Every structure is written in C-alpha cells, then in structure tokens.
Structure 1
Amino acid sequence: MWILLGILSLLAMVNGQEGGQCSPTPRNLEILYREECIKLLLRNTTCEFVWTRFTDAFAGMDPSQVTPQSYFPYFQYFGTSNSSDTSLFWTQTPELVEMLSCMCASGANIVSSANEPSTAIINNIERRVSEVVRWCGTTSGNSTDGIEYNMSCPCSVAFDFFEQFSVLFARAAQGVIFFLGYGEKVNGTFSESSFFAKYEIPNLNATVVTRVVVIVVHRSNQGEGCGQGTLNNLQTALKDQVPNIAYDCFDVFGDPTNSAEVQGLTNCTADIITSIQKGQNPENNTCSSGVPMQRLSLVIAVVAVLIAMCTL
C-alpha cells in the first residue's frame, strides 16, 4: 500500500501531538536525505547545499527556539511549483494524493506536498524506512554536528517544518485551487484544527485565487457530502478569506481506505480536475468497479454501437 508516512505523521501532529515527544534523529538521516534528493534528479552539489539549508534550521539549537520561520531559507531555495489551477490541498486522503500528484498515473496536472521536492524528500525517506522520521538539534558539546541522535526530539521541530511549507504553498496558489477531503472522517471532512484551516486558508491570496473546487470522497449515503455538515463550515471559511471566490463541490463515491478502490477513485478525481483545468464543468462522478461512471457510460455506448453493427 502506497502511503506516505510523512503525510500520515503530519496528520497525527495536527491532531494535537505537536507538543509531545517524538523519536530521535536517525543517525543515517543525512545519507538518506542526500540519496532521496538525488533520486529527484537534483545534482549532488545541490543536495549538499539543501541539506545544509535544512539542518541550519535546527542544528546546534535548543529545540524550543526553532520556529516555522527557521525553515524559510530552506523553502525559499526550493520555491514552489504550483502554477495557476494546479494547487491541491487535502486531508485524510494520502493514497489518492500520492497517485494524483504523479501526472503519469492520473493525467491531472497537480502540485501538492507529495511531489514538491522540499517535502517529497522527507516523505520518501519515511516511505523507504517504513517509519516516521523526526529530527532536532542539541546545544550539547558532545555533538559534532549539533544534531540530537540519542534523546527523543520534540515533535514541534518537524511540525514547524510542515507548517512553514503549508503557509508558503498556500501563498503561491493562484487561479483554481482544489481541496480533496474524506467525507467519512470522524468529526467531519473539514476540521478547524487542520493545517488547511489554520495555515493554508488564512494565507490564500484573495487577489489571485478565483475558485475553489472541493472534492469529497465517501461511500454513497455514508458520512457527509457536498452541502452537508462541516463542508458548510469550509465554504464559510473560504469565503471569509476570499470573499469573491467561486465555490464548487463534487462527490466521488467510494472507499479510499480500500486499496482495491484507490485506482478507480483516483481516475474519478482526476477526471474532475482535468475537466476543470480544460474549462469544462463536469458532473458529479461515481465509481463502479474502479471505472468512473462517465467512462463506463462511454464504454457501454461503444459496445451498443458494435452490437448494432453486428446485427446488420
């Protein structure tokens, strides 16, 4: 199952663990970082430079002194690649986000935390080692590089990393933005304690963001869909930040926690996104046996024509 552990651990932090203690820094973190950096087609000299930018945010420091702004030089170097109509925000849909963010797999031109190099390096490390990775610095004179490898690290040091990314990613969004949510999430699709609510919506630029497209994934007649529950709170929060924003919502029916349905749900979601990026207005999609209904209807129509031709 393709799940980005970094993204899932970020969800855990949003649920209140950012003030607790996490695991120590892995002793081979620098090796893993450089290797995953190079895999993203960045040059070795570049990877050495960004590793230094990354550790400058916390190495040799008391963890309590690290702030989201400490990571700004790191993210400033990478920048963001979300051009107009490509920014994908999300909650509780990690596998769909990962697949949608791979354009070759979904056909959608999407930029998210899953494919931005600045965060993808960390996500890929965690997927590679199959565990959550945390880090922090130390002021102890016993450390040769100012990084803590023996004692547990405050979760806040990594929390600040993802918070800074969220702020900068939201500020760079423009045109149509997309939000992918899980309609059967406990306490509703939209949470006011989520990164989207706390750090991303408040940093949307009202002068360049014109439309938000909300896509809610849930089983038919399960959880909440468009126009229900916390999604009304989401619409209000968006309009408070961007008063003139156009708001659209689409339901995609299926179970994103069932790995057998993920590809079909990805296809459905990609159809909505690509249609909107082409200036079209798609209808609500439904998945059946991994095939979006609009595609299934086309297949049925073609088969009917073939049958008719054979009977002539």
Structure 2
Amino acid sequence: MPFQNSSTRIRQHRLILTGIMVLLVTLVIAVLVVVLKPRSKGATGSEVIQWKGKGTTEHLHEIILGRCYNYIATVNPELRDKDCLQIWELFQKAFMYKDPCSATEEDYQPLMDLARHSIPCNKSLFWSTTNDLVHRYTKADRGFLTLEDTMLGYIADGVTWCGDLSSPGVSFKSCPKWTECESNPSSIYWKMASKMFAEAACGTVQVLLNGSTEAGAFRDNSIFGSVEIVNLNPNKVSKMQIWLMHDIDGPQSETCMGHSIRKLKEILENRTISVSCEDNYRPVQLLQCTSNPDHTTCRVCS
C-alpha cells in the first residue's frame, strides 16, 4: 500500500504540472494573437494609417541643426546668439510621440518665440503659387526677404515631419497632407510662421503672384490670402506692390485689372493699405528670360 500511495501522488503531481503547462501555453498563445492581430485603419494609433503625404524626412535632426547653424553663421550673423540646440529641442517636442492630426499652436509657441526676429522695413516679399520664381529672384536680389529667408522658414523649407504615438516617435512612412486634416504639425507650423512674418512687415511690402493660373492670381483660401494679408498691421504697412507675373509661354489668365486682383485691392484698401499693381515686373521677367532668351518678350527692344 505505501508503494501505491507514492505512485498515486506522483501521478497527481504530473497531472497538476501538465495542467499548469497547458494553461501557460494557452495564455502565451492568447497574448500573441492579441499583439499580432492586424488592426483596422480606423483603430487608434497613427502607425496603422497610410497618409497621402511624404513621411518624415530622413535625418531631420541633422538637417534642422545644420541649417540653423548655417543661418546664424552665414545667412544672418546678427542672430548668432540664437541657441540652435534649443531650437531643435523645441521643434521636436512640438510633434514627436503625438498624433499627427492633433497639433496645436501651443505646441509650437515656445519655438516661435525663440526663433522670432525682426524684418527690415520695405523688404518683405510675399508670394503665392510662384515658389520657384520668387526664390530665384531673392537669390539674385538680396534686398528682399521671403518667409523662407527667415530663420523659421529657412530651417524647415522643403522637409516634412509628423509624429507617431509609438517608438521612435515619428512616422517615416507617411504624413497627412494639409487637406487630410487641418491640425497636422506642418500646417500649424507654416501658418504660425506666416503670421509672424506678416506681423513683422513694415513700410512698403511686395507680393509676387501668378497671372497664368486658371484659379486666379489671388485666392483668399491660400496662406497669403487667409493668414498673411489679415495679419499685416496697417499702422506699420503703408503700401503693397503687386507684381503679377505670367509664364513666358503660358497664358495670361489674369492681368492687374482681373477679378481676383480687384478683390485683393479692395481687401487692402479697406484696411487703409494703398495698392499698386504691375504686370510682368521687368526685373523678375528677366529671370524668366534666362530660360527662354529668344522669346519675343525677352528682346531688349520688344
């Protein structure tokens, strides 16, 4: 009988151990199923959403820091006391490990305050749908400054970024375009930087518009129309000069007498800012002629 009791106890112990092992295996399988189960597009977590825009630019950290140091060393040495390391820290803090559609002005305000600087009077040059041409012009004539010539514009021009709730805190696969969600980090950044640029303007300001676009040279839903115009200070800005450019071989969809230009003039005059408009401002047109020097428009005696 003692032998049988011992054998019984051994079998019981084996049954208990087997039961524990089965339970543990079941729990492990259950956990793996939950973790590895594909999540739907509408699930919480930005990593599962495929946005239409490009993902965060590779080496963004090095790009922002490098541009900042170059800006204060060669572009605008008067700002050499700006702390580029702190600028990067505030930049990344504004969007990293955050939902890419929940950016706020409060996220970027510390960065805006740190990078803020003055703009000389009569030097502010605004633009809309003339990106390439306006920056070719400011490179040729250093007497004018666009938003992209300010510190905030210079460090972020041409790069993309957005956050992700999971590690590494940014999405390299895709980021939302401005049309996908209003509160994406890039949109909030550029709207705030544009507002600051407009608020800093003084004296006579300029705007380079595209008279060859079918949608109209001035659009009130553009950054220029919805942010910059409304934030010009009439007590500081006395006049706006409109340079309405047409493609050398393109259509002249609108002139200075066009509907959208009249609308822009009305908005400015209602804010007690005087306006002038010139079709194909010659110094800018000469830049266009470098690509098509034999065109009749480009002849000296045309």
- Fold similarity call, TM over 0.5: yes
Give 1:95 shift: 2.4
Q: Are the structure 2 counterparts of residues 207 and 58 from structure 1 closer, same or farther at C-alpha, using a change threshold of 3 Å? A: same
The worse-fitting range, judged by mean Cα deviation, of 167-176 and 28-37 is: 28-37
Which residue number in structure 1 is paired with residue 62 of structure 2?
Answer: 31
Q: Normalising by the residue count of structure 1, what TM-score does the alignment of the two structures yield?
A: 0.66
Cα distance in 1 for residues equivalent to 2:88 and 2:214: 37
Say whether the 8 Å CA contact 1:219–1:253 is kept in structure 2.
no
**Corresponding residue pairs, total:** 235
Q: Counterpart of 2:174 in structure 1: which amino acid?
A: S
| Residues 125-136 of structure 1: pairs in structure 2 closer than 5 A | 126=158, 133-136=159-162
What is the deviation of 1:35? 2.1
Report the CA distance shift for 1:22/1:210 in structure 2 as closer, same or farther (over 3 A).
same
Contact 1:176 1:213 in 2 (8 A): yes
> Which deviates further from its counterpart, 31-40 or 213-222?
213-222
Shift of 1:260: 5.4
* 1:41 shift after superposition: 3.8
In structure 2, the gaps of 5 or more residues are: 1-50, 74-79, 178-183
Alpha-carbon shift at residue 233 of structure 1 (Å): 0.9
Quote the offset at 1:63 in angstroms.
2.1
Pair 1:82-2:105 in alignment: no
Instruction: Give the partner amino acid of 1:136.
Output: C
Provide the residue aligned with 1:207 in structure 2: 235
From 226, 238, 242, the counterpart of 2:268: 238
- Post-superposition offset of 1:73: 1.9
1:3-42 correspondence runs (5 A): 21-42=52-73
* Distance in 1 separating the partners of 2:297 and 2:69: 37
Instruction: Indicate the SS of the match to 2:214.
Output: coil
User: Do the aligned residues in 1 keep the contact of 2:243 with 2:281 (CA within 8 Å)?
Assistant: no
Give the conservation status (yes or no) of the 8 Å contact 2:137–2:287. Answer: no
Q: What residue is the counterpart of 2:13 in the other structure?
A: none
Distance 1:44 1:30, change over 3 A: farther
Higher gyration radius (CA): 2
Q: Deviations over 1:164-196 (max 9, x none)?
A: 111111111111111111111121100121111
The structure-2 alpha-carbon separation of the partners of 1:219 and 1:111, relative to structure 1 and needing over 3 Å to count, comes to closer
Shift of 1:92: 1.6
Q: Following superposition, which runs of at least 4 residues in structure 1 exceed 3 angstroms of deviation? A: 41-45, 256-260, 262-265
Structure 2 CA distance for partners of 1:287 and 1:258, relative to 1, 3 Å: closer
Which position in structure 1 is the counterpart of 2:94?
A: 57
Query: Residues 79-105 of structure 1, C-alpha deviation per residue, up to 9 Å, x if partnerless?
Result: 133221111111122223213323xx2
Q: How has the CA–CA distance of structure 1 residues 263 and 161 changed in structure 2, closer, same or farther, with 3 Å as cutoff?
A: farther
Using the TM superposition, give the Cα deviation of residue 109 of structure 1 relative to its aligned residue in structure 2, in angstroms. 1.5
- SS state at 1:62 partner: coil
In structure 2, C-alpha distance between the alignment counterparts of 1:262 and 1:76, rounded to whole Å: 40
Residues in 1 aligned to 2:109 and 2:281: alpha-carbon distance in whole angstroms: 39
Instruction: Please give the per-residue CA displacement for 1:182-223, whole angstroms capped at 9, x wherever unaligned.
Output: 111121100121111111111111211111111111268822
CA distance in 1, matches of 2:220, 2:82: 41
Counterpart pick for 2:149 among 115, 136, 142: 115
Question: Judging changes above 3 Å, is the alpha-carbon distance between structure 1 residues 91 and 50 closer, same or farther for their aligned structure 2 residues?
Answer: same
Match of 1:188 among 198, 216, 229: 216
Indicate how the Cα distance of structure 1 residues 81 and 101 shifts in structure 2: closer, same or farther if over 3 A, else same.
farther
Q: Retained in 1: the 8 A contact 2:201–2:237?
A: yes
Partners of 2:61 and 2:252 lie apart in 1 by 45
Distance 1:65 1:257, change over 3 A: farther
Give the match's secondary structure for 2:148.
Answer: coil
Counterparts of 1:60 and 1:249, CA distance in 2 = 46
Equivalent position SS for 1:177: strand
Q: 1:216 maps to what in 2?
A: 244
CA RMSD of aligned residues (A): 3.1
Q: Deviations over 1:266-310 (max 9, x none)?
A: xxxxxxxxxxxxxxxxxxxx9624x6x7xx9xxxxxxxxxxxxxx
C-alpha spacing 1:97/1:58, structure 2 compared with 1 (3 Å): same
Letter in 2 for 1:222: Q
Q: 1:257 to 1:122 in 2, by over 3 A?
A: farther
Going from structure 1 to structure 2, the CA distance change for 1:92 and 1:27 (only over 3 Å counts) comes to closer
Letter in 2 for 1:134: T
How has the CA–CA distance of structure 1 residues 147 and 44 changed in structure 2, closer, same or farther, with 3 Å as cutoff? farther
Q: Which whole-Å CA distance do the structure 2 matches of 1:209 and 1:260 have between them?
A: 29
